[in-house]
Amino acid sequence: MDLNYSEEEYAFEAKVKQFLKDKLPQRLSDKVKGNIRLTKADMEEWHSILNAEGWLATHWPVKYGGTGWTPVQMHIFEEACSAANAPRTVPFGLGMLGPVLIKYGTEEQREHYLPRILDGTDWWCQGYSEPGSGSDLASLKTRAVRDGDHYIVNGQKTWTTLGQHANWIFCLVRTDTECKPQEGISFLLIDMDTPGIEVRPIITLDGEHEVNEVFFDNVKVPVSNRVGEENKGWTYAKYLLTYERTNIAGVGASLNGLEHLKVIAREQQLDGKPLIEDPYFARRMAEVEIDLDAMKTTNLRVLAAVQGGGAPGAESSMLKIKGTVIRQEINDLTRRALGPYAMPYVHEALEEGYNEPPIGPEYANPVSSDYFNNRKLSIFGGSNEIQRNIISKMILGL
């Protein structure tokens, strides 16, 4: 065993850091650091900077404009980006649809859609969940009925993250009702400009607009927009989810969050001493740091096991649970670290250009709403309960 990066990997890391130093606009990293809301334009700007470098699609093979990086390289990249407060890339096109098209799409679909993901022409969102179908995704009801060379789609999707910015949505739709639920699902690519589609905002508990409901009323979708075979969509859907879950582990985000927490705990005072010296607080911080140390390696072990580009299997469930629990614990500690200043909240202070003096320490304002917002981490992408079911079935054989 060798737990160090190889010489080439260190060189790669240095290259990534240099790139971030040169190319990551400070305006963006300041926003990420201060938890200021990123606009659509901000996210697009960062995508195009990465794309110019050829570093946008870290998971894709070179042939399709990806980096062809090894899992370790991807990890190095993610960690360095988080440490530099780079915006996270929007995962729907890059991390989810991309791999599905590469594995299951037609050459034509790949040629058409993949470059448009890279150059920012298309912003994708994910139409899986429905009001009645969350954990039990296979029970989904949105109908697609064949009509010549089109499908007519009717139904409703929900929790569509950043759907308000998207011009395309990939959807699971029911194309057969006369069979086992998993067997009658197809995977459709739908242009959001098609008549009959309506997007309505859902406001989350922290007062943000991040998710949406999407309604389909007799929406006409060309059959050529189907990925793979009719009624075989479940296979592709599951393949996509393993990618979604690994992304959610967010080791880089946790490392960065922990650093931020330490800065705060050094600055906050308890009886005239830095909070970081308080044995109760120090203990909890150390525990989460130790968990994260282990998680880093678990993550690398899983990644190393899938060297060669395959999707991780049930192991991704492990990464998702552990990764999200750690991130949530860091959010919780950060909230606690603020003491009473965890309470004040000025919504406008999350907008770029707000220049009133902060209430309490300048880092305080977004902390509690982040804590609440990140409760989502253990719910979406297949809830942590569902991941445990997967682990007990797939890994333990129970």
Partner 1 sequence: MDFNHNEDRRMLENTLSRYVREQYDFETRMKIAGADEGYSAEKWAEMAELGIIGALFKEEDGGFGGHGFDLMVVFEQIGRGIVVEPFLGTAVLGGGLVADLGSDEQKAILDDVIGGAKTLAFAHGEPTSRYSLSDVTTTATKSGDGWVLNGHKSVVSGGDSADTLIVSARVSGDRLDEDGIALFMVDAGADGVDRRDYGTVDGYGAADIILRDVAVEASALLGGEGDAFAAIEKATARGILALSAEALGAMEVVKDMTLDYLRTRNQFGVPIGRFQALQHRMADLLMEVEQARSIVINAAGALDGDRLEREKAVSAAKNLIGRVGRLVAEEAIQMHGGIGMTWEFSMPHFAKRIIMLDHMLGDTDHHMARYIALSSAA
Ligand X SMILES: Cc1cc2nc3c(=O)[nH]c(=O)nc-3n(C[C@H](O)[C@H](O)[C@H](O)COP(=O)(O)OP(=O)(O)OC[C@H]3O[C@@H](n4cnc5c(N)ncnc54)[C@H](O)[C@@H]3O)c2cc1C
Binding site for partner 1 (CB under 8 A): 129, 132-136, 139, 158-159, 202-207, 211, 268-272, 278, 280-281, 332, 335-336, 338-346, 359-360, 368-369, 371-372, 375-376, 378-380, 383-385, 388-389
Q: Checking phi first, is residue 153 left (phi over 0); if not, alpha (psi -120 to 50) or beta?
A: beta
Contact partner, 281, from ligand X, partner 1, none, Cβ < 5-8 Å per class: partner 1
CB of 119 to partner 1, least distance (A): 32
Q: Is 383 in the site for ligand X (CB under 6 A)?
A: yes
C-alpha closest to that of 246 among 137, 321, 138, 159? 321
Tell me the β-bridge partners of 191: 168
CB of 326 to partner 1, least distance (A): 15
Q: Taking each helix axis from N to C terminus, what angle separates 315-337 and 251-267, rounded to the nearest 10 degrees?
A: 20
**Annotated catalytic, 267?**
no
Contact partner, 325, from ligand X, partner 1, none, Cβ < 5-8 Å per class: none
Binding mask 211-250 for ligand X (x = CB under 6 A): x---------------------------------------
CB of 305 to partner 1, least distance (A): 27
CB of 93 to partner 1, least distance (A): 22
**C-alpha dihedral, 320 to 325 to 330 to 331, nearest 10°:** 90
Nearer CB in complex with ligand X: 154/161: 161
Strands 168-174 and 124-127: parallel
Task: Assess contact for 250 and 327: CB atoms under 8 A.
Answer: yes
Binding mask 142-171 for ligand X (x = CB under 6 A): -----------------xxx----------
Q: Which residue of 71, 91, 93, 134 would you call a contact of ligand X, by CB under 6 A?
A: 134
Q: Cα separation of 398 and 388, whole Å?
A: 11
Q: Is 379 in the site for ligand X (CB under 6 A)?
A: yes
Burial class (CB in 10 A: 0-12, 13-18, 19+), 120: middle
SS (H, E, C) 39-87: CHHHHHHHHHHHHHHCCCCCCCCHHHCCCCCCHHHHHHHHHHHHHCCCC
Grouping H, G, I as helix, E, B as strand and the rest as coil, residue 300 is helix
Q: Is 380 in the site for ligand X (CB under 6 A)?
A: yes
Nearer CB in complex with partner 1: 61/132: 132
CB of 325 to partner 1, least distance (A): 11
Catalytically annotated residue among 79, 210, 244, 329:
244
Contact partner, 256, from ligand X, partner 1, none, Cβ < 5-8 Å per class: none
Task: Assess contact for 327 and 255: CB atoms under 8 A.
Answer: no
- Tokens 């065993």 sit on residue: 1
The vertex-111 CA angle with 107 and 112, nearest 5°, equals 120
Contact partner, 151, from partner 1, ligand X, none, Cβ < 5-8 Å per class: none
CB of 129 to ligand X, least distance (A): 4
Q: Which residue of 55, 128, 168, 187 would you call a contact of ligand X, by CB under 6 A?
A: 128
Task: Assess contact for 86 and 46: CB atoms under 8 A.
Answer: yes
Contacts of 375 (CB under 8 A, 6+ apart): 205, 328
Catalytic residues: 244
